[in-house]
């Protein structure tokens, strides 16, 4: 029998997940059917949709905006990454058990280290924004051995609170939070833009001086070409400027392997979805 999986969000028509998981299934010989579900944003809407999907034989869900916190509440068992992030982007159904995971940060680290060939260990890392994407990224970045992680946000207090939450879990990594205006005279080897600014072609309020010579600039938004953030980074002399397509593919591969026990190769998917940064 063909196993059923889906991605749930609202809106959902833009999602590349059905294409990605369809390609993964073909490449690995897995018998599965993957669709997109438009979830209700009314109270209880996510739970109703998830319950209906499970009742129809669904085995797992990818979860996107705005349901990651709903999925967190729906899960009966949470991974450490999901627990600390306060958000879930993948669910697996095993009888009455609902397992929740957050693969966003894991996918980000894998893209940087495996696909871009840059070891995070010992690097000074700046993450712009203090929303859900940042929450999912901090623990995997600390596990990868970053020497310093600074969370910078328009509202400084939000960044400081988020950083303080992660300090006890960061091992040997120093984690700090600050406002965007407090970055003067600070330099970083890797800068992640985890704000929503690129979705509206806006630029986070930062100075080009934050980029160390030869730095990596990484915009978590994908498919937008050379965003204002990446253009600033290129002009500042960054060695690499990339968007989030690799993270998208890698977090999808993590979920696929979690569900199916088979690790798909992401190279073809990344090549297919990559938009030139011009």
Pairwise CA distance, residues 36 & 3, whole Å: 15
- H helices within 86-168, ranges in order? 104-110, 132-143, 156-166
Structure confidence at residue 186 (pLDDT): 95
Structure confidence at residue 157 (pLDDT): 98
29, with CB counted inside 10 A (0-12, 13-18, 19+), is exposed
Residues of the chain with pLDDT under 70: none
Task: Report the residue count for the chain.
Answer: 278
Structure confidence at residue 52 (pLDDT): 97
| pLDDT tens-digit series, residues 195-206 | 987 877 788 889
* 121 touches 145 (CB < 8 A): yes
Write down the catalytic residue from 16, 68, 92, 224. 68
224 included as an active-site residue: no
Does 67 sit behind a cis peptide bond, omega within 30 degrees of 0 on the bond before it? no
Domains of the chain: 3-102+246-273 (3.40.50.10860), 105-243 (3.40.50.720)
Place of tokens 């073809």: 268
In whole angstroms, how far apart are CA 49 and each of 45, 67, 68, 145, 160?
6, 11, 14, 39, 36
Per DSSP, the three-state class of 272 is helix
Structure confidence at residue 134 (pLDDT): 92
Structure confidence at residue 183 (pLDDT): 95
* 124 touches 118 (CB < 8 A): no
Query: Global pTM?
Result: 0.93
| pLDDT tens-digit series, residues 108-161 | 999 999 999 999 999 999 999 998 889 999 999 999 999 999 999 999 999 999
Structure confidence at residue 278 (pLDDT): 82
Pairwise CA distance, residues 247 & 254, whole Å: 10
* 9 touches 67 (CB < 8 A): yes
Taking CA 242 as the corner, what is the angle to CA 133 and CA 226, rounded to the nearest 5 degrees? Answer: 100
């Amino acid at each position: 029998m063909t196993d059923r999986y889906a991605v749930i969000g609202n809106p959902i028509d833009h999602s590349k997940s059905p294409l990605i998981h369809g390609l993964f299934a073909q490449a690995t010989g897995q018998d599965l059917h993957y669709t997109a579900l438009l979830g209700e944003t009314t109270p209880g809407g996510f739970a109703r949709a998830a319950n209906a999907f499970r009742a129809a034989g669904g085995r797992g869900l990818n979860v996107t905006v705005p349901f990651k916190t709903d999925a967190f509440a729906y899960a009966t068992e949470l991974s450490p990454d999901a627990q600390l992030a306060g958000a879930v982007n993948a669910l697996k159904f095993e009888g009455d058990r609902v397992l929740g995971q957050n693969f966003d940060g894991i996918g980000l680290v894998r893209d940087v280290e495996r696909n871009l060939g840059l070891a995070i260990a010992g690097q000074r890392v700046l993450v712009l924004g203090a929303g859900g994407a940042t929450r999912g990224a901090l623990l995997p970045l600390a596990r990868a051995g970053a020497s310093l992680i600074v969370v910078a946000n328009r509202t400084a207090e939000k960044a400081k609170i988020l950083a303080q939450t992660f300090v006890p879990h960061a091992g040997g990594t120093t984690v700090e939070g600050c406002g965007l205006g407090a970055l003067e005279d600070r330099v970083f080897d890797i800068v992640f833009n985890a704000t929503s600014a690129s979705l509206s072609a806006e630029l986070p309020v930062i100075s080009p001086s934050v980029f160390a010579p030869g730095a990596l600039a990484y915009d978590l938004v994908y498919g937008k070409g050379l965003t204002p953030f990446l253009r600033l980074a290129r002009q500042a002399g960054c060695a690499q400027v990339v968007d989030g397509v690799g993270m998208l593919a890698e977090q999808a591969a993590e979920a696929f392997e979690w569900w199916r026990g088979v690790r798909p190769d992401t190279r073809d998917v990344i090549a297919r979805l990559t938009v030139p940064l011009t």
